[in-house]
Amino acid sequence: MGDLCAGRVAVVTGAGRGIGREHALLLAEHGAKVVVNDLGGDAAGGGSDLSPAQEVVAEIEAMGGEAVVNGANVADFDAAGQMIHQAIDTFGSCDILINNAGILRDRMVFSMSEFDWDAVIDVHLKGTFAPTHHAAAYWREKVKAGGEAFGRIVNTSSPSGIYGNVGQSNYGAAKAGIAAFTIITAMELVKYGVTVNCLAPGAFTRMTSDLPGFEKMDEETQEAMSPRWIAVPAVWLCSEAAQNVTGRVFDVRGEQLGISEQWHLGPSTTQPDDPADLADVMAGLM
């Protein structure tokens, strides 16, 4: 076991399976006490079952760590607040928040229902905002009262939200929003000693195993795309060593780690005042 997060208290959402499970286990291996949040629904968000979160807690306890189960729906604003306060009430603090919970309801835009749009936006985008709001409010009040200026947030975007992917307009819009949310909240919370970063992961999990390019992976490739690789930079970003890293989006595809810099100002010019004269200008820009 390492000690990158020794003495810290972490909340990890969607931690019963896949990437979230690996976050929780590796945080515990590095000394953090963990609130293991998972509603326990299926990949589309249906149903609930606390047993995956309970199994992760049991694994952490078996390695000598401390953890508790939380079954909150992260898109429920009040329940998200209770989750953060469960960490404080149980372990005395909340130092780390990893927003990882998510669902998939893929459709082409002309086939997507309002219900499928709202469900995905709710879980991903509101489900990132709600825990962040409550954790940030706690850290702000703590610093104002003279407490330690320390907080870590790691959000979860996706290559679908940064680069785009057919059939995922709801998911991609939510994930693009999370990337922007990360950049802005990093600016807002820096004076409280809080860093906010974001991972755009690609890994072999329950949610990706049936997707094109994943469904026929051999065992060697599956290992190279194991969700545990996503937890490695996540745990480092939660440590004191990452104090000066904030507002960044990391593209993590299995063993491969990169920085995503998709949005930046490209070529620009002075535009004419008549749209009829814009074609040549646009051709020069693109």
Residue whose structure tokens are 């960490």? 87
For residue 105, count other CB atoms closer than 10 A to its CB: 19
Domain boundaries, the chain: 9-285
Residue of 158, 160, 169, 260 marked active site: 158
Does the active-site annotation cover 158?
yes
* 216 in catalytic set: no
| Rounded Cα–Cα distance for residues 85 and 248 (Å) | 27
Give pLDDT tens digits along the chain (286 positions).
Answer: 689 999 999 999 999 999 999 999 999 999 999 999 999 877 877 777 899 999 999 999 999 999 999 999 999 999 999 999 999 999 999 999 999 999 999 999 999 999 999 999 999 999 999 999 999 999 999 999 999 999 999 999 999 999 999 999 999 999 999 999 999 999 999 999 999 999 999 976 555 555 555 556 566 666 667 899 999 999 999 999 999 999 999 999 988 999 998 778 899 999 999 999 999 999 999 8
CATH 3.40.50.1010 fits 9-285, yes or no: no
Catalytic residue check, 171: yes
Helix (H, G, I), strand (E, B) or coil at 164: coil
Residue in the block written with tokens 């879980």: 123
Residues 74 and 37 sit within 8 Å (Cβ to Cβ) = yes
SS3 13: coil
Q: Which pair of structure tokens corresponds to residue 108?
A: 């082409």
**Which is catalytic among the residues 157, 175, 239, 260?**
175
CA–CA distance, 213 with 222 (Å, rounded to integer) = 11
